[in-house]
Amino acid sequence: MSSQVLRIAMNGVTGRMGYRQHLVRSVLAIRDAGGVELEDGGRVQVEPVLVGRNEDKLRELAARHDVDAWSTDPDAVIADPSVDIYFDAQVTSRRVAALTAAMRAGKHVFTEKPTAETLEEAVALARLGQQTGVTAGVVHDKLYLPGLVTLRRLVDEGFFGRILSLRGEFGYWVFEGDSQPAQRPSWNYRKEDGGGITTDMFCHWNYVLEGILGRVDAVTAKTVTHIPTRWDESGRPYAATADDAAYGIFEVTTPGGDPVVAQINSSWAVRVFRDELVEFQVDGTHGSAVAGLRRCVAQQRGHTPKPVWNPDLPVTEPFRDQWLEVPANADLDNGFRLQWEEFLRDVVAGRPHRYGLLSAARGVQLAELGLRSSAEGRRIEIPSITLDDATAAEGPREDTVVERAGALTEAAR
Ligand SMILES: NC(=O)c1ccc[n+]([C@@H]2O[C@H](COP(=O)([O-])OP(=O)(O)OC[C@H]3O[C@@H](n4cnc5c(N)ncnc54)[C@H](O)[C@@H]3O)[C@@H](O)[C@H]2O)c1
């Protein structure tokens, strides 16, 4: 039985994601539970080192959460031989330099998405990860959530028959920041600071589509900036230079070779008339299902009503009542924490994490090609990425979805 402590340098813990999901809900929750249980029955404990730019905030955070170590000098922390893992939840534009330095120093890395702002940089990171042999993990949180775990289980069980399509709806109204403060940081709306909903969300959609259905072969997107002026954290107006909505069509091929059309709307300028902030509907010849982050409902072929289009009559069918809740049949914790735990076990075992820098590069690629599709007004095929050739050969993609097998059911354990 093994027992050890991993020191984790956590950069960006004063931010929204870094603080709530990664520090509090994941690393501190793991620490306070006495660490993570390993396959051999032993345990690995974690010890965070808080890293950031603001000394006062770090000192206050450390005191509030009973953390001993903090630093405003990321270079020194990365050079510290007692640090095992570097974690990054900084603004996206700072990520490449930090991850590069950490991997060069031999640290394992765990990072928020997207890994980079350009495909070239994302592939360079993946290549560096391969060369250094460190264990690298990239947040694929949606795949660990109960709704999507259940959806993937329905796919594995053949519930859908032949899968035809997926439609996804993501978004909510993000206040402009004048009469009410915005609920997202202002850099999200400035292209020059790494903002934009396509960059932010298409990397999620890539791994969601790969993890549920199969590889993404082509993208057609329309990206727009619906709200051209917003107000920042100090109440000053600024030009929103980044896209705040992206309407995408993704052509997917299942491992069995069936084509699936996936449409996903992503918007920070939409009001919610849904049960969850993101929902995906999968339709197949034998059944359909709708999954949010937490719930999943389904309708079998035998229970499918037969509506007849007649605008002269009021709707007679209670359509929403005709779906059955699909039980999760598992007690799933916070998705970020589940992935952290799996990553920590991988670090101890000295093996790759299944959602690594190459998968992340495919996400960055989808965002980049989505933006190009919109700018050029055309459908774009997605070349496969190989780490030997960063520019990636044209032509049909090999099945790069190596992490797919058992991905979601594994997360449910
Ligand atoms: N997995 C998800 O669902 C999800 C959701 C939202 C955001 N994110 C990602 O998480 C990352 C952080 O997003 P957020 O919403 O928490 O942002 P945030 O603005 O709340 O936090 C950013 C962090 O980076 C630091 N920072 C800001 N500017 C910096 C600079 N110039 N130099 C160094 N540090 C700087 C801030 O101090 C803060 O700690 C982004 O890459 C974003 O894409 C992921």
Q: Are 203 and 363 in contact (CB under 8 A)?
A: yes
Over residues 189-217, the pLDDT tens digits come to 999 999 999 999 999 999 999 999 999 99
Residues 225-250: what's their mean pLDDT?
A: 98
Distances (CA, A) of 248 to 245, 263, 367: 10, 6, 10
CA–centroid distance, residue 54 to ligand 1 (Å): 14
- pLDDT for 1: 56
Domain ranges of the chain: 5-142+334-411, 143-325
Over residues 90-120, the pLDDT tens digits come to 999 999 999 999 999 999 999 999 999 999 9
**Tokens at residue 274, please?**
């849904």
- pLDDT for 145: 93
State the CATH architecture for 143-325: 2-Layer Sandwich (3.30)
What fold is seen in the domain 5-142+334-411? Rossmann fold (3.40.50)
Over residues 259-317, the pLDDT tens digits come to 999 999 999 999 999 999 999 999 999 999 999 999 999 999 999 999 999 999 988 88
Q: Which residues of 109-134 are buried (b: 16+ CB within 10 A; e: fewer)?
A: bbbbbbbbbebebbbbbbbbbbebeb
For a mutational test of ligand 1's pocket, the pick from 86, 91, 110, i.e. the residue with the most ligand atoms closer than 8 A to its C-beta, is 91
Decide if pLDDT at 127 tops 90: yes
Average pLDDT, rounded, for the chain = 93
**Tokens at residue 190, please?**
């400035």
Sign of the C-alpha dihedral computed for residues 199, 360, 264 and 324 taken in this order: negative
Residues 63-75: what's their mean pLDDT?
A: 97
β-bridge mates for residue 324, sequence order? 298
Decide if pLDDT at 411 tops 50: no
- pLDDT for 316: 82
- pLDDT for 332: 84
Residues 29-58: what's their mean pLDDT?
A: 97
Over residues 162-171, the pLDDT tens digits come to 999 999 999 9
Residues 373-392: what's their mean pLDDT?
A: 84
Residue with CA at minimum distance from ligand 1 atom 24: 90
Decide if pLDDT at 391 tops 80: no
CA–centroid distance, residue 317 to ligand 1 (Å): 45
Pocket of ligand 1 (CB under 6 A): 12, 14-18, 52-53, 89-92, 94, 112-113, 139, 141, 185, 200
Residue with CA at minimum distance from ligand 1 atom 29: 91
Residues 143-147: what's their mean pLDDT?
A: 95
Decide if pLDDT at 386 tops 90: no
Which distant-in-sequence residues (6+ apart) come within 8 Å of 7 by Cβ? 46, 47, 48, 49, 69, 82, 83, 84, 85
Which distant-in-sequence residues (6+ apart) come within 8 Å of 156 by Cβ? 408, 409
Lowest mean pLDDT across 2-6, 229-233, 344-348: 2-6
Residues 65-83: what's their mean pLDDT?
A: 97
Q: Are 221 and 227 in contact (CB under 8 A)?
A: no
- pLDDT for 2: 63
With bands split at pLDDT 50, 70 and 90, how would you rate the model's confidence at 330?
confident
Burial class (CB in 10 A: 0-12, 13-18, 19+), 363: buried
More confident site: 362 or 400: 362
Residue with CA at minimum distance from ligand 1 atom 5: 17
With bands split at pLDDT 50, 70 and 90, how would you rate the model's confidence at 390?
very low
Alpha helix (H) residue ranges in 133-196: 146-156
Alpha helix (H) residue ranges in 328-384: 335-349, 357-376
Residue with CA at minimum distance from ligand 1 atom 41: 92
For a mutational test of ligand 1's pocket, the pick from 77, 90, 172, i.e. the residue with the most ligand atoms closer than 8 A to its C-beta, is 90
Decide if pLDDT at 220 tops 90: yes
